[in-house]
Structure 1
Amino acid sequence: MTDESFLEVTDVSKWYGDEQVLHDVSFEMDRGDVTVLIGPSGSGKSTMLRCVNRLAEAQEGSIRLDGEDVLAPSTDVDDLRREVGMVFQGFNLFAHLSAVGNVALGPQRVLGLSKAEARDRATDQLERVGLGNQLDSYPAELSGGQQQRVGTARALAMEPKLMLFDEPTSALDPELIGEVLEVMHDLVEAGMTMLVVTHEMSFARAVADEIVFLDAGRVVERGPPEQLFENPEKERTDRFLDRIASHD
């Protein structure tokens, strides 16, 4: 690993009770990188993602973000989560708040912005994700794709240094997936540092600087997408990609 790495994950292991779900997982990212975690269901991808912002607690190993020790007992988890935005599989929006209300809540409550400042920031981020015409719509009035874009705007409104995406399209109807991926493409173009869990292989291939293939909680193989997709070194990687391709 280089001293310049923005995110360094080193030998991270995690147990739930007696079950070890991560085994010595290591990878690193530079600022502006897009790293995509792929693998079968139950391979530890989402758990690894959650360890980065301590929604799950790694029991062994090291995670360093921008020089700070994420796992140190002295680390303020609330401060960490202000710097690390996360978009979940579920939309997790407040049903009683409009789109702009959902997005403005964090900047106002957590960052201390005035109501007007928070609304202005929320409006900017909703326009960024293509929802400038839905500011006052409530979640029940929005499609799944629109709700997921509100969730993305909500994370972006905190001005994070790293964005985590945990299978953001898995709960969407197929025709709505494209609008969410388009927003993510735009974030990549804007230079956002992103760690993404996804089953959308064409998206992963298009945007990733590095692909990390996990199976049974272990890193089987990692590398640039052209190498992993065209000439994987491990037979397990080849089998997984063949199976994914046969279902597309």
Structure 2
Amino acid sequence: MPDQLLRVDGVYQSYGDEEVLKGISFDMDRQDVQVLVGPSGSGKSTMLRCINRLTEIDDGDILLDGQSVYEMDADDLRREVGMVFQDFNLFAHLTAEQNVSLGLRRVRGFSKQEASERATAELERVGLADQADSYPAELSGGQQQRVGIARALAMDPKLMLFDEPTSALDPELIGEVLEVMRELAEEGMTMLVVTHEMGFARQAATDIMFLEDGRLVEHGPPEQLFERPENERTASFLSRLTQLHGGQ
């Protein structure tokens, strides 16, 4: 299919004797926003890490634009797949602009000036043009996460992965990060998001996937999973998550 960007095909992954992913399969088309939900330990973050090869799989395959990610050069994969981590992963000794421009110079081969100009533009895109010279310790958690988003966007990826991007934030800072993510979704960015923020899932997701015990229990559009879930476990989990984190 020409619109298909990502295919996860029968993926198994283990840590030692612990089987974490048990035959996960799903597809994503360009401009899809798919949200992964599930209990702690269900394999959500591991699934993201497998897609960009921070974690190797035991069986199955993951294809990006029809090519196995395991046949791609690591730098090429980093260009194509951006990742935003829950704990920001910024370099403390670099400014916001330097954090964003570093990958452009090392992976994309930009000159220092080209990388700085691109980094400044991406910081402006996430509302941080005035913080380009600030160090992470001088930024709020929400601002640090937006620098992390700008860093990933600067590589011009085909796919953005978000691993619980608001879980380390104080409640009053969550909204500014979710707003950037909503804007990216509206712009047509293809996104795979692990999150407990059900308001974002209802508003921005094209599909929601419910994982439990390493298996994909149910997969469908938000209105189906929230209003007419086929699996009783899906219904109880989403109901509890909505009560805890809000669904408006």
TM-score band (shorter)? over 0.9
Report the equivalent of 1:101.
98
Q: Is there any run of 5+ residues in structure 2 with no aligned partner, and where?
A: none
- Shift, 1:246, TM fit: 3.0
Of 120, 134, 139 in structure 1, the residue corresponding to residue 136 of structure 2 is: 139
- Shift, 1:81, TM fit: 1.4
Of 176, 181, 186 in structure 2, the residue corresponding to residue 179 of structure 1 is: 176
TM-score, normalising length from structure 1?
A: 0.96
- Shift, 1:3, TM fit: 6.0
Report the equivalent of 2:42.
43
Report the equivalent of 1:83.
80
Report the equivalent of 1:224.
221
Corresponding position: 1:110 with 2:107: yes
Instruction: Supply the AA of the counterpart residue of 1:9.
Output: V
Report the equivalent of 2:25.
26
- Greater CA deviation, 237-246 or 143-152? 237-246
SS in 1 for 2:127: coil
- Shift, 1:78, TM fit: 2.2
- Shift, 1:76, TM fit: 1.4
Q: Is there any run of 5+ residues in structure 1 with no aligned partner, and where?
A: none
Q: How far apart are the structure 2 equivalents of 1:246 and 1:151?
A: 29
Q: How far apart are the structure 2 equivalents of 1:205 and 1:4?
A: 23
Runs (4+) of structure 1 moved beyond 4 Å? Answer: none
Q: How far apart are the structure 1 equivalents of 2:74 and 2:95?
A: 28
SS in 1 for 2:86: coil
SS in 2 for 1:22: strand
Corresponding position: 1:209 with 2:201: no
- Shift, 1:111, TM fit: 0.9
The percentage of aligned residue pairs carrying the same residue is 69
- Superposed CA deviations along residues 60-93 of structure 1, whole A, max 9, x for unmatched, are 112110111113xx43122111210000011111
SS in 2 for 1:164: strand
Corresponding position: 1:69 with 2:68: yes
Q: How far apart are the structure 2 equivalents of 1:242 and 1:165?
A: 23
Instruction: Supply the AA of the counterpart residue of 1:163.
Output: M
SS in 2 for 1:133: helix
In the alignment, is the contact (CA less than 8 A) between 2:75 and 2:107 conserved in 1?
Answer: no
- Superposed CA deviations along residues 187-223 of structure 1, whole A, max 9, x for unmatched, are 0011101111001011011111110100011000000
Q: How far apart are the structure 2 equivalents of 1:133 and 1:75?
A: 37
Q: How far apart are the structure 2 equivalents of 1:122 and 1:169?
A: 22
Report the RMSD for the aligned CA atoms in angstroms.
Answer: 1.0
Q: How far apart are the structure 1 equivalents of 2:98 and 2:125?
A: 16
In the alignment, is the contact (CA less than 8 A) between 2:14 and 2:21 conserved in 1?
Answer: yes
